[in-house]
Structure 1
Amino acid sequence: MKTKLMVAGAIFLTGAAAASAQEACTSYTVQAGDSLSAISRTAYGTISFQQIWDANRAVIGSNPNAISVGMRLELPCLDGTLASATDAAPTQRTPSTNTSGDKVNIHLITGNDYKPFTDESMDGGGVVTQLVRNALATVQDDADTQITFINDWGSHMEVLLPTGAFDGTFPWVLPNCEAATLTADMQARCDNYRFADPVYEIVTGMFTLNGNPLGTTTSAADFSGKNVCVPEGYSAIVLAAAGVDADSVNYVSPATPEACFDALLAGTVDAVELEQAQAADIVTRLGLDDQIAVNDQVSSVSVLTVYVHKNNPDGDAILEAINTGLENIRSNGVWFRTVQDGFRAYYNE
């Protein structure tokens, strides 16, 4: 069974004095020196800040490090509910239509082996699958939306969407199409696809041993010349996004994420780069909560969303339906409850 961690988060507690009254099931006003990880450690005694971020997306925004003094945060109860929650009125269903006025049938594809976000073995197909399904349910009848699992992820964008076999695919990382330089793969996505609003944001962080100066540095450049572990098949994105040349970092790629933390404990690597949900789960399962730190200042936020091919004649109506639905479930509390319930089920498997 996976351990008590409900949702992922940073685990480094800053040296600044923690403010008082950081208790679960209350609201809290951010004080000077606070970080979400520090607030979470005081309120819950766990390494997770993600449940606080998820509960306060409308206030914090897409960057969990962007909290400011005076910001009022809801600290979820231990069962994942909010003390201030009230029953929201049912959202008005508005059928989405194409340019001819006909109702749009939306057929989306996703795949397995991306827990906790998409996997048929999980309740509802995973957290992101449930978010997409719940969003679309607020704007059109359930019969109008189909979600199919096809495990050949590469075929989604290479064949199935360009040929019109499906209307959209998820969850894929939203590219920054305004960036000065893009990889060939990301440029192709920008050239050929349109994107829904963010469905869920994930954070990739840099994990170190407690006491390592890399755990508190504000400069990604300090990782130059260091040994950084990124599991085989994973992408190194944090330092590259901060402008650190990949050739200046010695990347080590063992077969599993757990092996990265073994290497960190053994002192053969200086840091581990990993998505924080996965990393936090591993750290807790291995009993390393008191030994591992995550740098709150050197991280990368990635947006998971839905892709629709630019040649899809119903693209406007499809994206409007998805975006309207996402806005609906964020405003009526369904988004947060879906995330909380999905992660809780995953970590209690």
Structure 2
Amino acid sequence: MKRLFSRLIQLAAFFSLAPAAAWAICDVDYVAQPGDTLFSIAETHYGDRERWTLVYYRNQKLLAGATVLPGRKLFIPCITGATAPDATPLRQEKAELTLLTGGGYAPFTGRGLPGQGMVTELVNAALELAPAPVSYSVSWEDDWSKHLFPMLDQKEFDMGFPWLKPDCAAEPDNERCASFHFSDPVMTLPIMLFARADSGFDYREDADVEGKTLCRPAGYFTHDLNRPGRRWLDGGKITLVQPKTPADCFRMVAEGKVDAAAVNLFLGASTIVGEGLRDTVVPLEKPLSEEGLHVVISKRHWRGTTHLYRINAGLQKLRGSGRFEEIMSRHLELFWAQLQ
């Protein structure tokens, strides 16, 4: 009890801009009850439904996607506010393995972010834990359009991150699928529907979306809208609007011109705050899909299999060590604190 009280005081001081988090009931086990959602559990334990991702990333092996299964014992983590550790000593300027990433992709990558972003820190940790670890470097190119073609395709760098993987089984000719190997997911992204708070839109099953008008910016993936068993686009079951920017989508939601915006949780939350739409546009509780962020390497790279094995083995060990949950929890709290 003393440990819990001390942790609550720490949280109260750290999150002075987020009073609801100060009385968090955390570092405890919770047995899921019928009717529970990640949102309702976060409301109970943190006083803030937006912190549902803390429970999500800590308990992914015990969830069905992002669905809570009654009877499962979930762990509700506390957050200490610790700063990101220095990069592993294996990270050097002149290195055996060269990695490419870019900025402007918060909270995943960014030179000015703690740990240079959650994905960068996860990749650092995975390479440190990989079998037969080698020295590696991380280079930055903020023009993402250059990464896959020509830089990675022409092997100017060995591997790049973080990249979404298309549905390669359904689209084997997709240029990413044809040209690159993908690692196991470094992390998964919940893709959410963001609707007007007063719209009455409730997504519990796919039939609830049929007949709706969804918004997703031009150039973003759409394979989750057309996956087997769904086929919303091919079957004309929904209308998809594709303006230039995420902000355009969220303004259209607020104005009632579309039923919902369909983007990842982090992009949606940031756009709501940036556009001043807090309490006007909200995420629906059931994710539309889950998409992975991956490390990629050219299929023509002579050491592609070796490097891919190294990163995958490191990611597996990372998840088994508890460091994945620690890194994710810290970055998630920083992300939500910044939004508030």
What TM-score range do you get, normalising by the shorter chain?
0.7 to 0.9
Runs (5+) with no aligned partner, structure 2:
1-14, 83-88
State the 1:229 CA deviation: 2.6
* Residue correspondence of structure 1 range 3-152 to structure 2 within 5 A: 4=18, 23-46=25-48, 47-60=50-63, 63-65=65-67, 67-79=68-80, 105-139=96-130, 144-152=135-143
CA contact (8 A) 1:202 1:276 kept: yes
CA contact (8 A) 1:207 1:215 kept: no
CA contact (8 A) 2:79 2:330 kept: no
Aligned counterparts of 2:217 and 2:177: Cα–Cα separation in 1: 27
TM norm structure 1: 0.75
State the 1:54 CA deviation: 1.0
Q: Which amino acid aligns with 1:41?
A: E
1:331 to 317, 320, 324: 320
Structure with bigger helix share is: 2
CA contact (8 A) 2:79 2:329 kept: no
Aligned counterparts of 1:293 and 1:320: Cα–Cα separation in 2: 37
State the 1:301 CA deviation: 0.6
3-state DSSP of counterpart to 1:318: helix
* Residue correspondence of structure 1 range 210-289 to structure 2 within 5 A: 210=197, 212-219=199-206, 221-241=207-227, 242-245=230-233, 247-283=236-272, 286=276, 288-289=278-279
Match of 1:100 in 2: none
State the 1:326 CA deviation: 1.3
Are 1:209 and 2:196 counterparts? yes
CA contact (8 A) 1:80 1:340 kept: no
Q: Which amino acid aligns with 1:26?
A: V
The answer to which of 324-333 and 287-296 deviates more is: 287-296
Q: Which amino acid aligns with 1:223?
A: V
- Cα–Cα, structure 1 residues 162 and 264, in superposed 2: closer, same or farther, change >3 Å? closer
Aligned counterparts of 1:191 and 1:259: Cα–Cα separation in 2: 32
3-state DSSP of counterpart to 2:284: strand
Match of 1:292 in 2: 282
CA contact (8 A) 1:215 1:293 kept: no
State the 1:224 CA deviation: 3.9
State the 1:163 CA deviation: 2.4
Q: Which amino acid aligns with 2:121?
A: Q
Aligned counterparts of 1:290 and 1:40: Cα–Cα separation in 2: 20
State the 1:208 CA deviation: 2.0
State the 1:171 CA deviation: 0.5
3-state DSSP of counterpart to 1:261: helix
Aligned counterparts of 1:157 and 1:255: Cα–Cα separation in 2: 22
Q: Which amino acid aligns with 2:213?
A: N
Q: Which amino acid aligns with 2:55?
A: I
Q: Which amino acid aligns with 1:129?
A: T
State the 1:24 CA deviation: 2.6
- Cα–Cα, structure 1 residues 244 and 33, in superposed 2: closer, same or farther, change >3 Å? same
Q: Deviations over 1:86-143 (max 9, x none)?
A: xxxxxxx9x9xxxxxxxx9211111122111112221232110111012112237987
Match of 2:178 in 1: 191
Aligned counterparts of 2:196 and 2:208: Cα–Cα separation in 1: 15
State the 1:153 CA deviation: 2.3
Aligned counterparts of 2:58 and 2:131: Cα–Cα separation in 1: 26
CA RMSD of aligned residues (A): 3.2
CA contact (8 A) 2:188 2:293 kept: yes
Aligned counterparts of 2:62 and 2:181: Cα–Cα separation in 1: 27
Identity rate, percent = 27
